[in-house]
Structure 1
Amino acid sequence: MASLAKSNLPRFDVDIFQNEYLADGAREVNAIVTVTSTGGGTSGGRPLPGGSPQDDQGVESSAVVIMVDCSGSMDYPASKMRGAREATAVAIDAVRDGVAFAVVAGTHEAKDIYPGDGTLAVAGDATRQAAKEALRRLQANGGTAMGTWLAKADRLFLSRRDATIRHAILLTDGKNEHESAADLDKAIEQVTGHFTADCRGVGTDWQVEELRKISSALLGSVDIVAEPSGLAEDFRAMMENAMGKQVADVALRVWTPANAVVRFVKQVAPTVEDLTGRRAEAGPRAGDYPTGSWGDESRDYHVCVEVPAAAVGNEMLAARISLILPQPGGTAEVLSQGLVKAVWTDDLASSTRISPQVAHYTGQAELASSIQEGLEAHRAGDLDRATAKLGAAVRIAHATGNDGTFKLLQKVVDVVDPKEGTVRFRKNVSEADSMTLETRSTKTVRVKK
Structure 2
Amino acid sequence: MELLSATLDRVKPSPTIAVTTKAAELKAAGRDIIALGAGEPDFDTPQNIKDAAVAAINAGKTKYTAVDGIPELKQAICAKFKRDNRLNYTPSQISVGTGGKQILYNALRATMNPGEEVVIPAPYWVSYPDMVLLAGGTPVIAPATLENNFKLTPEALEEAITPKTKWFIFNSPSNPTGAGYSRDELKALTDVLMRHPHVWVMSDDMYEHLAYDGFAFCTPAEVEPALYDRTLTVNGVSKAYAMTGWRIGYAAGPEKLIGAMRKIQSQSTSNPCTISQWAAVEALNGTQDYIAENNEMFVRRRNLVVEMLSAIPGVTCPTPEGAFYVYPSISGLIGKTSAAGTKITDDETFATALLEETGVAVVFGAAFGLSPNFRVSYATSDEALKEACTRIQTFCAGLM
Which bracket does the TM-score occupy, shorter chain normalised?
under 0.3
The structure showing larger relative contact order (alpha-carbon pairs under 8 Å, at least 6 residues apart) is 2
Larger Rg: 1
Q: Which has the higher strand share?
A: 1
TM-score scaled by length of structure 2: 0.27
